[in-house]
Amino acid sequence: MVQKFSELQYESLAIGSLPHTDLGKAMEVVKNNFKIPFWPQLVKLKKNEDMILQFLENMPSFFCEKEKIYLEVESEKFFTDLEKFFLDYDNIDENCNSNLLDNYAIKNSAAFPKFIEIIKNTEPHFAKGQIVGPFTLSTTLTDKSGKPAFYDETLKEIIVKTLILKALWQIKEIKKANSSTTPIIFIDEPSISQLGTSAYISVSNEEVVDMIKLISDVIKKNGGLSAIHCCGKCNWTIPIKSGVNIINPDVYNYAKNLSTFSDDLKEFINNDGKIAWGVVPTLDENALKDISLEKIIDIFENAVKYLTKKGINEKIIKEHSLFTPTCGAGALSENLAIKAMELVRELSERYYDI
C-alpha cells in the first residue's frame, strides 16, 4: 500500500468533467477547491474531451468515418498497427520511464498540461487522473456490424492494454511533475450498473472483474492508487474483487445500494480500502440548486447508518471516507458546477474540523 494512503481521510475529490469553455476559469475551480488536484475534461471546449473519445488516440482498430466511431479488424492497416502496438506494450518498462509511453499520450486534452503545472507548483501528496473503464469502453465501441468489442477477444485485449498505457502515461507525467505525488487513477465505469440486466445477460461478473483487475494491478504496481467510479446502482462486489483502493458510489441517489454488499465492504475497509462518497448531486440540476451543506451532511450520515446497521463500525467507516460529487459536472451550468465543487470542499472542511 502506498505510504500516506492510510492517512487519507475526509479529503475532497472531483469526478471528471467541468462545463467551462474558458480553460483558465476551469483550472481556478480546481485550484480553489481541491488539495488533491484533478484533471478536468472540458467537454464543451473540445468534443475530443468526451470520456470515450479521449482515450482512443493511437488505439489499433479505431476508426472515425463521418464522425461515426467504429472498430475495424480486417484491414491491412489493423494488422500492421496491432503488431506495433503489442511490441510497444511488451517493451514498456515497469517504472513507466519508457519513451514508448509517449506514443500513447493523451494529446487532445486542453487541461492536462495545466493540471501538471499545478502539481509542479503545489507539490500535493496526491493528484487525480482518470480513464474510461474497460467494460464501458468495450460495450460502447462496436465493429461495423454493430457487435460490441466486448465480444471479440482481440478487441477486448486491445482495449484493456490501451487503457493500461493511458493510465501509465498519466502516472509517468504526474511523477515527472513531482516525484513525491501519488497518482490516483479513477476508472470510470458507468456501464457496470447495467450488469445483470437483459442488455448484458450473457456477461459474467468474473469477466468484468478480470478486465478491471488487470488495469488496477498495473496502476498499483507502478506507484499509483486505483479507484472505481460508478454513478448508478452497482454490484460493488465487482470493484472490490478487482482490487481497487477506492470505490466511488453515488450515495445521493442510491444510499441503500452500498449496504447490500456489507460483507464485502467490511473486508474492503479492513484492508484499508476507501469509500469516496458521491454525495453532492450533479445529475439533477434542481436538486443541486436547492441543496445545502446541512442537507448533504444528513445524506452522508444516513448513508453511514445503513452500514452501521449491518455491523460495520461507524468510526472505521468514517476513517476510510472521502467526498465527491455524484458524477462529472460537465452538463451543468458553470455556476452550478462551481456550487457543486464548493459544496464538496465545504463538506471536507466541516469533517476535518469535527
pLDDT (0 to 100) of residue 64: 61
User: What's this model's pTM, rounded to 2 decimal places?
Assistant: 0.95
Q: What pLDDT does 66 receive?
A: 55
* Residue 195 pLDDT greater than 80, yes or no: yes
Domains by residue range for the chain, with CATH: 5-353 (3.20.20.210)
pLDDT at 21: 96
The whole-number average pLDDT for the span 84-108 is: 85
Instruction: Give the torsion sign (CA, 201, 202, 206, 212).
Output: negative
Q: Say if CB 42 and CB 23 are below 8 A apart.
A: yes
pLDDT band at 93 (very low <50, low <70, confident <90, very high): confident
The 10s digit of each residue's pLDDT in 297-325 is: 999 999 999 999 999 999 999 999 999 99
Task: Summarize pLDDT for 231-242 with one digit per residue, the tens.
Answer: 889 999 999 999
DSSP state of 214: H
Of the two residues 63 and 244, the one the predictor is more confident about is 244
> Please, which pLDDT band fits residue 60 given cuts at 50, 70 and 90?
confident
pLDDT of amino acid 319:
95
Q: Are 170 and 185 in contact (CB under 8 A)?
A: yes
Instruction: Report pLDDT for 236.
Output: 96
pLDDT digits (tens, 9 = 90+) for 157-189: 999 999 999 999 999 999 999 999 999 999 999
Q: According to the model, what pLDDT value does residue 67 have?
A: 63
pLDDT digits (tens, 9 = 90+) for 245-290: 999 999 999 999 999 999 999 999 999 999 999 999 999 999 999 9
Q: Where on the phi/psi map is residue 96: left (φ > 0), alpha (ψ -120 to 50), or beta?
A: left
- Average pLDDT in the chain: 92
Comparing CA positions, the residue from 135, 121, 112 lying closest to residue 54 is 112
pLDDT score of 65: 57
Please check the confidence at residue 63 and state whether its pLDDT lies above 70.
no
Question: Closest by alpha carbon to 276, among 230, 212, 214?
Answer: 230
Q: Which amino acid belongs to residue 224?
A: G
Q: What is the pLDDT of residues 109-123, one digit of tens each?
A: 999 999 999 999 999
Q: How confident is the model at residue 227 (pLDDT cuts 50, 70, 90)?
A: very high
- Region of residue 341 (phi > 0: left; psi between -120 and 50: alpha; otherwise: beta): alpha
Confidence band (pLDDT; 50, 70, 90) for 224? very high
For the chain, the residue count is: 354
Scanning the structure block, which residue is given the C-alpha cell 475530443? 48
